[in-house]
Structures are given as structure tokens and as C-alpha cells.
Amino acid sequence: MLLSACSAEEPKTCLGDFCLPNDAELIGHQQPADFDLYQVDWQGARFGIYVGDFPDFRIGSGVKRAVTIDADAELKIDDTQGQILAQLGARSPRYLLIIGPCIAIESCALAKFADAIQKAQ
């Protein structure tokens, strides 16, 4: 697992090509194959992050939802959970799939968490 600082101003937990928000706590990491899975606690909610080339993005119907790391990201909501699929870049790993609580587009903790994730410098 690669941990580094994203910028000189504030120390953050960076996981390869992206950095978690300052107040996020990384609580789990697995690398079952050629992808990484992370569990993160942030502002009282738990999120899952998939980093790899072949995300499983099937729940609900999708809408375009720009986030800090990808202006063309897509949000899908199914009941109380959501998924945001963002592209990291052209080289592997290409995708970041973030899973977490989301009741509606207007009140979606997942979207707020995704907005707080930044690209590593």
C-alpha cells in the first residue's frame, strides 16, 4: 500500500493516484487480485473504494455527477446505497468506484465524500 502526502500544505492519506479527505480514516485494505479494495470511515459513515480496471457498476439508474477527480463521473442510487464511478486516467488503474450511503441526489453522503477526494500530485 502506497501512502504519501498530496501537497505540502496539509498531510493527507494518498492511495496511489488519489487522496482521501483529511478527516477520513482508512480502516481496511485488501488486494484480492489486480485491484485494491479500501474501507474508509468519514463523518460517521462507512465507504468502500474499488481501484482497478474492471469495476462492477450495476445498481440502479445512473446520472452524470461531476466530482473533484472526474467531471464526467456517474452516480447510481439503489434504495439507501449509491455508487460513483470516476475515471482516474488512461493508465492502469483507470477507475475509482466509490460505494456508500446515498438516499437521494440532494442528500447523498456518498457524493459529498467523492467531492472531498482529490487527485494525488
What is the C-alpha separation between 51 and 96, in angstroms, rounded? 5
Cell numbers placing 105:
441526489
Residue 3 lies in a domain: no
Residue 51 lies in a domain: yes
Number of folded domains that form the chain: 1
Tell me the average pLDDT of the chain: 88
What is the C-alpha separation between 65 and 85, in angstroms, rounded? 9
What is the C-alpha separation between 24 and 42, in angstroms, rounded? 5
Write out pLDDT tens, residues 89-121.
888 989 999 999 998 888 899 999 999 999 988
Residue 9 lies in a domain: no
Residue 17 lies in a domain: no
4, 6, 48, 54: which is closest to 30 by C-alpha? 48
Residue 31 lies in a domain: yes
Range of the domain at 103: 23-116
Binning pLDDT at 50, 70 and 90, where does residue 38 land?
very high
